[in-house]
């Protein structure tokens, strides 16, 4: 998947000063285990302007999926969440069970990376779409919910939607099933759509189609989208803003085009070097070493042992996430870059 598949970075559809649809403030997530809790997220903060697309990027284990799933409290049993997770003017962390059920049914929906495991194999696609629509709006009759299902299937460009409602998941391709999942989200008329690696299980051509569809829905419906992915080439043509995560922390955040053109954190730069479009047909580059274990994080920068620009201070002093460009709210957590900014 390349950036050019979507025509390159698009211009943000909303001004930067639009109130956030989502706001994470100093969010921590810990999981219980023998010998003490394991902290997965460490003080994660970022905003998602209403009507925008924001991408969370990083390697496996970076915390991007945990951050996305925390927006709907879809975390493993026993997870402890600190900080504030605001969607609109409400704190998701303090919602009652009934408030959370309604929130997940109608306001926020999620699309996961494996469409085969997200749909019930013994029920038709139509039955599951109707159920999704009526869960969001119990006043809908089955007839009206079915009509909405047909309309939404057509909107996500599934051919012959009336007939396809009778299909079972095993009778459809992976790309078609991912479109069905998007349709299941849309029948609820949500304002927020979360996507956790939504194209990983798809071939390159189908990836491009799904991403183009998400971008179209964002532009036409004003749908706020948060997408977690490890693929920076996907992000290039999709997201307004990019949040790069490493070892459970945000290490860089800013407008996607700016971050990808001039990354300010060495980890973002390294990720870009591993993307196919940056290799010009040469052998794929890799990031040497492995991320640190979450229960044995170093006292300084977590990326120090893998970074080409590490100084002695990097190993002992943990960098804060600070502004490097105020007009665009571009932030990075790198001692070296911040020192250069101060000198300038």
126 Cα distance to chain centroid: 27
- Domains delineated in the chain: 3-250 (3.40.50.300)
Q: What is the pLDDT of residue 17?
A: 55
Residue 9, token pair as written in the block: 């970075």
Q: What is the pLDDT of residue 116?
A: 80
| Residue ranges with strand state E in the chain | 20-31, 38-49, 53-57, 80-87, 90-91, 108-111, 192-196, 224-229, 241-246, 249-255, 322-325, 330-332
Q: What is the pLDDT of residue 166?
A: 95
Pairing of strands 224-229, 241-246: unpaired
Q: What is the DSSP letter of 19?
A: P
Strand partners, 332: 252, 322
Q: Which pTM value belongs to this model?
A: 0.89
Q: What is the DSSP letter of 299?
A: S
Residue 156, token pair as written in the block: 């996500």
Distance CA 343, CA 314 (A): 18
Distance CA 181, CA 248 (A): 28
Q: 3-class SS at 265?
A: coil
Q: State the CB neighbour count (10 A cutoff) for residue 265.
A: 27
Coarse DSSP helix, strand, coil percentages of the chain, rounded to the nearest 5 percent? 40, 20, 40
Alpha helices in 187-334 (DSSP H): 204-221, 232-236, 256-261, 266-274
16 Cα distance to chain centroid: 19
What size, in residues, is the chain?
A: 344
Residue 147, token pair as written in the block: 């009509």
CB distance 182 to 96 below 8 Å: no
Residue 180, token pair as written in the block: 């069905």
Q: What is the pLDDT of residue 181?
A: 93
Distance CA 124, CA 110 (A): 20
**Along the 344 residues of the chain, how does pLDDT read in single tens digits?**
333 334 444 444 455 555 578 999 999 999 998 888 999 999 999 999 999 999 999 999 999 999 999 999 999 889 999 999 999 888 998 899 999 999 998 899 999 877 788 899 999 999 999 999 999 999 999 999 999 999 999 999 999 999 999 999 999 998 899 899 999 999 999 999 999 988 877 788 888 888 899 999 999 888 999 999 988 887 887 899 999 999 999 999 999 999 999 999 999 999 998 876 655 555 567 888 899 999 999 999 999 999 989 999 999 999 999 999 989 999 999 998 877 776 65
Q: What is the pLDDT of residue 279?
A: 52
Q: What is the pLDDT of residue 174?
A: 87
Residue identified by tokens 């996961």 is 112
């Amino acid at each position: 998947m390349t950036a050019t598949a979507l025509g390159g970075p698009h211009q943000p559809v909303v001004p930067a000063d639009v109130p956030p649809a989502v706001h994470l403030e100093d969010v921590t997530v810990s999981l219980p285990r023998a010998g003490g809790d394991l902290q997965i997220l460490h003080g994660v903060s970022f905003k998602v302007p209403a009507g925008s697309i924001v991408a969370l990027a990083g390697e496996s284990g970076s915390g991007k999926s945990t951050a996305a799933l925390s927006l709907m409290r879809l975390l493993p049993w026993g997870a402890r969440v600190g900080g504030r997770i605001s969607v609109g003017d409400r704190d998701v962390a303090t919602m009652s069970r009934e408030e959370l059920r309604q929130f997940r049914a109608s306001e926020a929906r999620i699309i996961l990376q494996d469409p085969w495991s997200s749909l019930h194999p013994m029920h038709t696609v139509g039955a599951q779409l109707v159920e999704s629509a009526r869960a969001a709006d119990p006043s809908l009759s089955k007839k009206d919910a079915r009509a909405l299902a047909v309309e939404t299937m057509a909107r996500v460009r599934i051919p012959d939607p009336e007939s396809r409602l009778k299909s079972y998941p095993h009778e459809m391709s992976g790309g078609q099933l991912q479109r069905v999942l998007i349709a299941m989200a849309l029948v609820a008329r949500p304002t927020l759509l979360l996507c956790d690696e939504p194209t990983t299980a798809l071939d390159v051509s189908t990836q491009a189609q799904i991403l183009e569809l998400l971008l179209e829905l964002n532009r036409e419906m004003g749908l706020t989208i948060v997408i977690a992915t490890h693929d920076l080439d996907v992000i290039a043509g999709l997201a307004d803003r990019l949040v790069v995560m490493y070892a459970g922390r945000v290490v860089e955040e800013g407008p996607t085009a700016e971050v990808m053109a001039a990354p300010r954190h060495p980890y973002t730069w390294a990720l870009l070097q591993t993307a196919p479009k940056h290799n010009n047909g040469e052998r794929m580059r890799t990031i040497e070493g492995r991320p640190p274990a979450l229960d044995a994080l170093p006292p300084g920068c977590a990326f120090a042992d893998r970074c080409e620009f590490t100084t002695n201070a990097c190993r002992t002093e943990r960098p804060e996430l600070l502004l490097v460009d105020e007009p665009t709210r571009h932030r990075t957590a790198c001692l070296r870059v911040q020192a250069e900014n101060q000198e300038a």
